[in-house]
Structure 1
Amino acid sequence: MSRTMLERTGSRAPRGANDSRVVSPGPSRLRRAEKWAALVLLLPALLGFVVFYLYPTVRGVWYSMTDFNLLNDPTFLGMANFEELAADPQVWDSLRITAVFAVVNIAIVMVLALGLAAFMQRLNLRNWVRSLLLLPWLVPNVAIALIWGWLLDANVGYLSQLLKSVGISGVSFYNGDAALGIIIVISVWSGLGYTALLLYAGMLQVPNELYEAAALDGASETRMFFRVTLPLIRPVLALVLVVSLIGSFQVFDLVQVGYGNNPIPEVRVIYYYIYQQAFSFYNMGYASAIAILLVVILGALTVVQMRLMRANRSDLS
């Protein structure tokens, strides 16, 4: 049939047979659908972030520039609270005590945790053995403070009496010379297992072929640890250091509970000083200013630490 006859009779080819306009949904439409799905799934977390983090942060910044005692309406003061804390020796003394605690605590925990993680990696311990390491970390810090407070009581504490029997006296919470060391020991005991398991998880990502090649070259276990393991777990190591730093500067419950709301000056850490200003002296505005100072210090230390550790780059990729 000629083209004229086809047009006259109305005969047509099947729809879509040669129609290039029939296409599947494009990638842009799929990406838009994925974005909406991701937004719906993230919405609860975003809502929680706004309600429990962003809003309190904004309120805290506002309170830091006011005179607020929880009983009356805030009165705007500008930067007066920050000028006052700059001249407050208690703030800097509390920061010094907290910094000493953080440095010593992190140094001891990291050295012991790295050794324990390497030990677990090379011996391939059973799961129940690794689970036991988490037990101290799972115990609430309030219970830990109460238990150690009883053990180190100067009069009836079992551990204090045991140490006295071997010639070591003065080991109690209220001994100014030993107080900060006791808090550090308790913190190390509590967080060592958790830190070791984090580092152990990072070590599991290192291919065994690298250890086999190093062993063929005659490298010892110590040399493989420093030349193979540590460089390859640098991102995990940086994460653990940052988390440990923030957690060390947030030490509070051991001091609050261990000293029965009356710590001696040797262990008055910055978090306790903020709590004291806010809920003992009702200087909420001044306490907020100190908290903002702490946020700035931790933020700066975190950025420096991440840059020095080159945490955004991994030799495993």
Structure 2
Amino acid sequence: MRRLGDLPVAVMFVLPAAVGFAAFYLWPALRGLYLSLTKYNVLTPPRFVGLENYERILGDHLFWNALKVTAEYVMINIGAQTVISVLLAVLMHRLTRSLVVRGVVLLPFLVANVVVALVWFWMLDYQLGVVNHALDWLGLDRVAFFGDSALAIPTIAMVNTWRHIGYTALLIFAGLQMIPRSVYEAAALDGASEWRTFWRITLPLLRPVMALVLVLTVIGSFQVFDTVAVTTGGGPINATRVIYFYIYDLAFNRFNFGYAAALSSVLFVLLAGIAYLQLRLSRTGESDLKGA
């Protein structure tokens, strides 16, 4: 027992999480990989077809359109969310560190995504929405936020940006608190302006935290589903048919579970590759604080 040391205790603590991971992540992933090599519709046993489902992806125009729509959503959502979150975090860090302010900032994230989507869907409704009534009052034309194919994805992206911005800002705020005040004091003594301090000190020292935030937000953005399902249902004319909604439609509306599993496997590899590239390019294992 002495040779084992703390191993039995460590295993006891790790075991529940390991069982949960194996039951709810590992086994479903392996099962999905197997189904991706079959033709399966629930009503009949899976029939092995090899790589047929993967070959079908190459000529699936709906898949490539869904991937393009998802990429558009990710770029808009990540761009807006990152910029506004950094600004909000810096303002909280420099002006106030009140727990009340942090709680208020986090409130939208505590509301269920479906509820947020429904509220914004009603607010932006073309006929009854308060936003279009306000546009009428200002003498402007009404806008079909969810009904216009050019505006639907940006609208969904901004709705989800509003919901997640507080959580992202608090992660960045936590990173800002790790930066020593002495660094800012030295910059002030050198006569550096606020803008120069932000670009030359704050952003470089935030790199490890920003890398983590970007990986989480990019992966989360690729997984957008509920907002689309509640508001547009993939329309108008596939303008908001993101990849997750397309996979859901194939599996639970068309009962083509084999092909849906193949798309899920491709998406998993794609997201793993994106996350790996982000972590490598951002050099998350290094910190500029060592030389600060």
Tell me what 1:282 maps to.
255
Tell me what 2:110 maps to.
138
8 Å contact from structure 1 (residues 152, 159) kept in 2? yes
Tell me what 1:39 maps to.
11
Would you say 1:189 and 2:147 are equivalent positions? no
- 1:262–1:250 distance in 2 versus 1, CA, 3 Å: closer
Would you say 1:230 and 2:203 are equivalent positions? yes
Tell me what 1:202 maps to.
175
Q: Which runs of 4+ in 1 moved over 3 A?
A: none
| Secondary structure of residue in 2 paired with 1:116 | helix
- 1:220–1:124 distance in 2 versus 1, CA, 3 Å: same
Percent identity, aligned pairs only, is 43
Q: CA deviation at 1:126?
A: 1.2
Question: Which has the higher mean CA deviation after the structures are superposed, 88-97 or 148-157?
Answer: 148-157
Matched residue type, 2:186: A
**Deviation string for 1:131-154 (max 9, x for gaps)?**
101111111011011111111222
- 1:116–1:219 distance in 2 versus 1, CA, 3 Å: same
How many pairs are equivalent? 288
Q: CA deviation at 1:159?
A: 1.4
Larger Rg belongs to: 1
Matched ranges for 1:67-146 at <5 A: 67-146=39-118
**Deviation string for 1:41-99 (max 9, x for gaps)?**
00000000000000000000000010000111100000000000111010010000000
| Secondary structure of residue in 1 paired with 2:62 | helix
2:20 corresponds, among 15, 33, 48, to: 48
| Secondary structure of residue in 2 paired with 1:69 | coil
- For normalisation by structure 1, the TM-score amounts to 0.88
8 Å contact from structure 1 (residues 252, 272) kept in 2? yes
Cα RMSD over matched residues? Answer: 1.4
8 Å contact from structure 1 (residues 170, 178) kept in 2? no
CA distance in 2, matches of 1:171, 1:222: 39
| Secondary structure of residue in 2 paired with 1:237 | helix
Tell me what 1:306 maps to.
279
Matched ranges for 1:227-306 at <5 A: 227-259=200-232, 261=233, 263-264=235-236, 265-306=238-279
8 Å contact from structure 2 (residues 77, 161) kept in 1? yes
Matched residue type, 2:188: A
8 Å contact from structure 1 (residues 180, 266) kept in 2? yes
1:63 corresponds, among 19, 35, 46, to: 35
Unaligned runs of 5+ in 1: 1-27
Q: CA deviation at 1:262?
A: 5.8
**Deviation string for 1:220-250 (max 9, x for gaps)?**
1111111111111211100000000001000
Matched residue type, 1:206: I
Matched residue type, 1:139: V
Matched residue type, 2:174: A
Tell me what 1:163 maps to.
135
Question: Which has the higher mean CA deviation after the structures are superposed, 144-153 or 239-248?
Answer: 144-153
Q: CA deviation at 1:103?
A: 0.9
- For normalisation by structure 2, the TM-score amounts to 0.95
| Secondary structure of residue in 1 paired with 2:145 | coil
CA distance in 2, matches of 1:102, 1:310: 22
CA distance in 2, matches of 1:304, 1:89: 27
| Secondary structure of residue in 1 paired with 2:285 | coil
CA distance in 1, matches of 2:98, 2:141: 38
Unaligned runs of 5+ in 2: none
Tell me what 2:145 maps to.
172
CA distance in 2, matches of 1:29, 1:142: 53
Tell me what 1:147 maps to.
119
CA distance in 2, matches of 1:112, 1:172: 22
CA distance in 2, matches of 1:257, 1:47: 34
CA distance in 2, matches of 1:44, 1:263: 42
8 Å contact from structure 1 (residues 160, 172) kept in 2? no
